[in-house]
């Protein structure tokens, strides 16, 4: 007899209990929740109005009135970070949505069909993949004009091949399994099998990839708005705040430090969350923990 | 003086007791058979001797090998023992070899490590060892990679690695379970010869009572981590003093009651296969060249009458499973036709296949792999209902699933469970429930009991027989195990290299095989009756 170290499928409660013992997951989860709460709070309340310029208060360091200081127009940096979070999260979220919405069906379809269709789809995929994502995003926004919507589309397009690949690889591992053969013998078509059996079995894989792409999307959005190709003023965004701070680094370092920290902490939080989910759901890491 | 002596061995992993007061000994030149069903602790006993237990394991008692106390030996001492004085052969030859190293390197590795020999010396010894296990240098140079070898050849390499340094003790954990009967007989012969040549002790672990009876001088029967009975093989099995020994022996030889038998010719055939051939295109050797096509199934014709139970037997790789897939319309024949209830199945679209699918179901070998782990039993068993003309309502569906579960001996409470909550035997019952829910006329079963323990196997065979009698379902049993064919089928077809080489009434073919392929299968198949008779004779 070989050693059948069978990995029991777990109940939801058991997974949850394990999730809260996983430090990476808990830290990531808390950070993500805080950032989300901050973005949502900005709809109803911010310490100051971010569209109002108060030149008399310009470039003040952190004080009790302005915790994170003010920028060169006298706007409160804390308020700007709160409103900017909205923008970052919205862009990254919709971009991940586009990537998943198009990429997953594409990858699952390629895996189900196989043969030439699969080959052709994946080579087109490789082509998109081969472009440096940020550079091409710059190109797209340069052609269609800067703005949050175009940034979403640009980042979204480059998420498609990532999800297509992950979905295809996952689906290819599921297709040769016997329960798929059993479903085929029961007369089910490929679409139905994909929806009923393949997708639920690769869902965790996609969830992990989703959090990673979300973090990358936030970075990409910051990059684009740093170049002035993202959300346009007066809408504040983390990337442009960094751009504004660049020339004033020596006189007003807080203008760069706080938005920079916002980006770092958000990306870190999302990556920890993704790592945590992967650890919890990956059967191979279970025994070590 | 014993080579290996295990006394009062108890083992816990975490809070789980695995072994309890196990006693066992192996003398030099002796074959000790360790028999038990899955989960009985056979493998754990072997791993304790090798001290290769998982981290959470706690072993108490005494394990002495050649005067060394294994349980208190240091890791360095163990490293010196493993592979030198104690060799081990694992079940799965596919995973026991490193795929990126040549067989020469893998055999020489242990020799160099333990004897500090030079590369040339080690390779010379490796060569000799490979010659000894039946892999001559002309066909199997040291530079071969594992993927270039077949399963039986790989197992020979694994044995060569384990025996390269003439160990005093060889532990073989289900060494032939992954192989077909003909290869099994060859590997067992090889092990027996190595034992006599080197006066090596062999601890042979197996779930198969027949194999152990043929091989072992003494046997130990293990159940739930406890020794049930131990002693001389012939005496233990002929007396069958312990009820569990009796139970195991009876289960191994179990033949379900089937008063009604069906023979072909009486009624209109249910399934007809005419000249079915399946070619697989050869591997691409260069951009423009391909290796010649491989013919997996070659001009096969057969017919099955309603209610008839037919066995398709043959060695692994003979095309049995390919033929089954074509019959189930999961694969298309290159040429030939398959008719089901008089209608041609070949080349029809999925939509037109629906009526045929309803009457034709399948049971697979692996009860672990044949269920989607993320769905509940109700949905899994109801899957074939999808081919009905009108979809049943939720309540109807639940009712039908409950009925099917009842027929295979499971309760309505099992409806809302996930597959992982069932044991292997129960899962195979689920598989059968799924197959019979549409009231099919034909069930194709691909090695349906070969992954199961003997006692569970007997129950599942009973279930198959009962359903055949009660519902009149015809079976096509695909198996390499002749005892299964004998137990449950009316007719047998022997397949060899894609062709059907012999067919006839099961008892006639198995008792008086005519073709070479059938004879090879019959002589190689382990048979408890025969093995016991021979043991008794030897002892006089």
Least CB-CB distance to A187: which of B91, B353, B420? Answer: B353
pLDDT at A2 exceeding the cut of 50:
no
Chain A residues in contact with B155 (beta carbon < 8 A): none
Average pLDDT for residues A249-266, to the nearest whole number? Answer: 90
Q: State the distance between the two ends of chain B, measured CA to CA, in whole angstroms.
A: 26
pLDDT at A289: 37
Residues of A at the B interface (Cβ-Cβ below 8 Å)? 1-4, 6, 8-9, 177-179, 181-189, 192, 196-197, 200-201
Residue pair B296/B322 in contact by the 8 Å Cβ criterion: yes
- Residues from chain A that touch B362, judged by Cβ atoms under 8 A, are 181-182, 185
Task: Residue B466: count other Cβ atoms within 10 Å of its Cβ.
Answer: 16
Task: Describe the strand order of the beta sheet including B491-496 as a list of residue ranges.
Answer: B360-363, B442-446, B474-479, B309-313, B491-496, B499-505
Give contacts of A205 with chain B, Cβ < 8 Å. none
pTM: 0.79
* Percentage of residues in chain B having pLDDT higher than 70: 98
Pairing label, strands B491-496, B309-313:
parallel
Measured in angstroms, the CA of B444 and the nearest CA of chain A are apart by: 11
pLDDT of residue A282: 64
List Cβ neighbours of B249 (8 Å cut-off, separation of 6 or more).
Answer: B209, B237, B240, B528
Q: Would you say B24 and B63 are in contact if contact means Cβ atoms under 8 Å apart?
A: no
Question: What's the CA gap between B251 and B76, in Å, rounded?
Answer: 44
B344-395 pLDDT, tens per residue?
A: 888 788 888 888 888 999 998 877 788 888 888 999 999 898 888 777 888 8
Q: Which residue of B has its CA nearest to A182?
A: B370
| Opening angle at CA A210, ends A205 and A216, nearest 5 | 135
Chain B partners of A3 at a C-beta cutoff of 8 Å? 43, 47
The distance of A194 to chain B (nearest Cα, Å) reads 12
Is the confidence at residue A287, as pLDDT, over 70? no
B15 pLDDT higher than 70: yes
Q: What is the mean pLDDT of residues A185-213?
A: 89
- Nearest residue, CB atoms, A186 vs list B205, B366, B387: B387
- Asked if the Cβ–Cβ distance from B366 to A4 is below 8 Å, we say no
Q: Which of B14-28, B255-269, B402-416 has the lowest mean pLDDT?
A: B255-269
Residue B11 has pLDDT above 70, yes or no: yes
- Mutation for B interface: A9, A180, A186, most B CBs within 10 A: A186
Using pLDDT thresholds of 50, 70 and 90, give the confidence band for residue A9: low
Q: Any CB–CB contact under 8 A between B462 and chain A?
A: no
Residue whose token pair is 């309340």: A45
At residue B262 the predicted structure's pLDDT band, cuts being 50, 70 and 90, is low
pLDDT of residue A58: 80
Structural contact between residues A35 and A263, judged by C-beta atoms closer than 8 angstroms: no
Report the chain A residue with the minimal C-alpha distance to residue B419. Answer: A9
- Model confidence at B516, pLDDT cuts 50, 70, 90, reads very high
Q: pLDDT tier at B29 (50, 70, 90 boundaries)?
A: very high
Q: Look at B288 and B316; give whichever has higher pLDDT.
A: B316
In angstroms, what separates the C-alpha of A132 from chain B's closest C-alpha? 32
Instruction: Please report the pLDDT score of residue A4 as a whole number.
Output: 37
Return the percent helix, strand and coil in chain A, to nearest 5.
Answer: 75, 0, 25
* Residues B299 and B497: beta-carbon distance below 8 Å: no
Q: DSSP labels for B137-155?
A: TTTS-TT--GGGS-HHHHH
Structure tokens at B537: 């004779």
Using a CB-CB cut-off of 8 Å, the residues of chain B touching A9 are: 373-374, 418, 420
Taking CA–CA distances from A192, the nearest residue in chain B reads B386
> Per the structure block, which two tokens stand in for A265?
């902490």
Among chain A residues, the shortest Cα distance to B34 is held by: A1
How is the beta sheet containing B335-340 ordered, strand by strand?
A: B294-304, B271-280, B335-340, B343-344
Chain B residue numbers touching A188 (CB-CB < 8 A) = 383, 386
**Residue to test with chain B: of A7, A185, A286, most B Cβ within 10 A:** A185
To test the contact with chain A by mutation, choose from B383, B427, B437, B454 the residue with the greatest count of A C-beta atoms within 10 A, namely: B383
Task: Give A208-243 as a 3 state SS string.
Answer: HHHHHHHHHHHHHHHHHHHCCCCCCCCCCCHHHHHH
Of A282-286, B52-56, B483-487, the range with the lowest mean pLDDT is: A282-286
Contact A123, A187 (CB under 8 A): no
Between A213-222, B65-74, B364-373, B483-492, the lowest mean confidence (pLDDT) is in: B364-373
Q: Please report the pLDDT score of residue B525 as a whole number.
A: 87
Angle between helix axes A199-226 and A254-281 (nearest 10 degrees) is 170
Residue with tokens 């290796």: B291
Residue-averaged pLDDT of chain B: 88
When scoring B50, B370, B372, B420 by the number of chain A Cβ atoms within 10 A, the one with the most, hence best to mutate, is B372
**Percent of chain B's residues with pLDDT above 90:** 37
Residue B59 tokens read as 């072993």
* Residue A265: band (very low, low, confident or very high) from pLDDT cuts 50, 70, 90: very high
Contact between A26 and A20 (Cβ < 8 Å): yes
CA B237 from chain centre, in angstroms, equals: 23
| Separation in Å, CA B201 to CA B30, B104, B126, B324, B493 | 5, 25, 21, 43, 40
Report the pLDDT value the prediction gives residue B1, as an integer from 0 to 100: 65
Read off the pLDDT of residues A17-36 as tens digits, 9 standing for 90 and up: 878 888 889 999 999 999 99
Give the pLDDT score at A11: 65
CA distance A119 to A112: 12
Q: How far apart are CA B145 and CA B153, in angstroms?
A: 11
Per-residue H/E/C for B339-376:
EECCEECCCCCHHHHHHHHHCEEEECCCCCCCCCCCCC
**Res. B149: pLDDT tops 90:** no
Q: Which residues contact A257 (CB under 8 A, 6 or more apart)?
A: none
Question: What is the pLDDT averaged over residues B335-343?
Answer: 90
Cis peptide before A247 (omega within 30 of 0): no
């Amino acid at each position: 007899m070989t050693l059948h170290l069978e990995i029991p499928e777990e109940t939801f409660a058991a997974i949850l209990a394990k999730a809260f013992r996983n430090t990476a997951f808990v830290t990531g989860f808390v950070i993500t929740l805080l950032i989300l709460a901050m973005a949502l709070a900005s709809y109803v309340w911010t310490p100051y109005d971010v569209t109002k310029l108060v030149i008399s208060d310009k470039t003040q360091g952190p004080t009790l009135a302005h915790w994170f200081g003010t920028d060169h127009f006298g706007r409160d940096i804390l308020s700007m970070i709160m409103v900017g979070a909205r923008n970052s999260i919205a862009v990254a979220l919709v971009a991940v949505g586009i990537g998943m919405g198009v990429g997953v069906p594409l990858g699952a379809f390629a895996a189900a069909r196989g043969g030439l269709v699969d080959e052709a789809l994946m080579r087109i995929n490789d082509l998109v993949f081969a472009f440096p994502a940020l550079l091409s995003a710059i190109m797209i926004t340069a052609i269609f004009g800067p703005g949050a919507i175009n940034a979403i589309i640009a980042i979204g397009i480059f998420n498609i091949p990532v999800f297509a690949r992950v979905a295809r690889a996952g689906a290819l591992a599921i297709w040769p399994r016997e329960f798929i053969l059993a479903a085929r013998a029961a007369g089910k078509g490929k679409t139905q099998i994909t929806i009923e059996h393949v997708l639920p079995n690769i869902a965790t894989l996609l969830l992990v990839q989703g959090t990673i792409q979300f973090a990358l999307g936030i970075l990409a959005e910051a990059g684009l708005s740093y170049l002035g190709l993202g959300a346009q003023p007066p809408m504040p965004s983390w990337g442009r705040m960094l751009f504004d701070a660049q020339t004033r680094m020596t006189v007003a370092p807080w203008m760069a430090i706080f938005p920079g920290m916002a980006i770092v902490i958000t990306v870190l939080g999302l990556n920890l969350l993704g790592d945590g989910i992967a650890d919890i759901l990956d059967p191979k890491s279970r025994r070590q923990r | 003086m014993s080579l290996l002596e295990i006394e009062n061995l108890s083992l816990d992993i975490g809070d789980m007791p695995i072994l309890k007061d196990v006693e066992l000994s192996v003398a030099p030149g002796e074959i000790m058979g360790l028999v038990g069903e899955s989960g009985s602790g056979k493998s754990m006993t072997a791993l304790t001797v090798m001290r290769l237990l998982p981290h959470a394991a706690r072993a108490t008692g005494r394990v002495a090998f050649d005067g060394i106390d294994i349980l208190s030996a240091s890791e360095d001492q163990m490293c010196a023992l493993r592979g030198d004085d104690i060799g081990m052969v694992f079940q799965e030859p596919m995973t026991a070899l490193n795929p990126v190293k040549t067989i020469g390197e893998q055999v020489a590795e242990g020799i160099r490590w333990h004897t500090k020999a030079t590369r040339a010396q080690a390779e010379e010894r490796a060569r000799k060892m490979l010659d000894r296990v039946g892999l001559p240098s002309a066909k199997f140079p040291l530079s071969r990679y594992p993927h270039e070898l077949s399963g039986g050849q790989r197992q020979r390499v694994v044995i060569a690695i384990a025996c390269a340094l003439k160990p005093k003790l060889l532990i073989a954990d289900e060494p032939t379970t992954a192989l077909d009967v003909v290869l099994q007989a060859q590997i067992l012969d090889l092990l027996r010869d190595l034992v006599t040549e080197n006066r090596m002790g062999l601890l042979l672990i197996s779930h198969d009572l027949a194999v152990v009876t043929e091989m072992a001088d003494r046997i130990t029967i293990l159940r739930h981590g406890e020794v049930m009975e131990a002693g001389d093989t012939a005496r233990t099995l002929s007396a069958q003093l312990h009820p569990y020994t009796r139970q195991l022996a009876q289960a191994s030889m179990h033949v379900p009651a089937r008063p009604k038998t069906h023979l072909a010719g009486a009624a209109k055939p249910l399934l007809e296969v005419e000249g079915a051939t399946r070619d697989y295109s050869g591997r691409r050797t260069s951009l423009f060249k391909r290796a010649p096509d491989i013919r997996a199934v070659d001009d096969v014709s057969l017919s099955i009458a309603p209610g008839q139970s037919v066995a398709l037997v043959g060695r692994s790789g003979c095309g049995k499973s390919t033929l089954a897939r074509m019959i189930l319309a999961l694969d298309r024949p290159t040429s030939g036709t398959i008719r089901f209830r008089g209608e041609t199945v070949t080349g029809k679209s999925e939509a037109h296949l629906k009526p045929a699918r309803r009457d034709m179901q399948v049971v697979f070998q692996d009860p672990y792999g044949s269920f989607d782990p993320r769905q509940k039993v109700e949905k899994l068993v109801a899957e074939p209902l999808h081919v009905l003309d009108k979809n049943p309502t939720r309540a109807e569906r639940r009712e039908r699933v409950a009925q099917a579960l009842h027929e295979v001996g499971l309760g309505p409470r099992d409806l809302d469970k996930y597959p992982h909550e069932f044991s292997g035997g129960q899962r195979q019952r689920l598989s059968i429930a799924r197959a019979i829910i549409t009231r099919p006329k034909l069930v194709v079963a691909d090695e349906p009991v070969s992954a199961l323990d003997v006692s569970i196997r007997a129950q599942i065979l009973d279930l198959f027989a009962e359903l055949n009698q009660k519902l009149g379902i015809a079976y096509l049993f695909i198996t390499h195990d002749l005892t299964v064919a004998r137990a449950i089928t009316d007719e047998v077809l022997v397949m060899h290299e894609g062709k059907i080489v012999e067919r006839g009434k099961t008892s006639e073919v198995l008792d008086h095989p005519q073709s070479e392929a059938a004879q090879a299968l019959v002589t190689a198949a382990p048979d408890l009756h025969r093995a016991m008779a021979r043991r008794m004779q030897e002892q006089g």
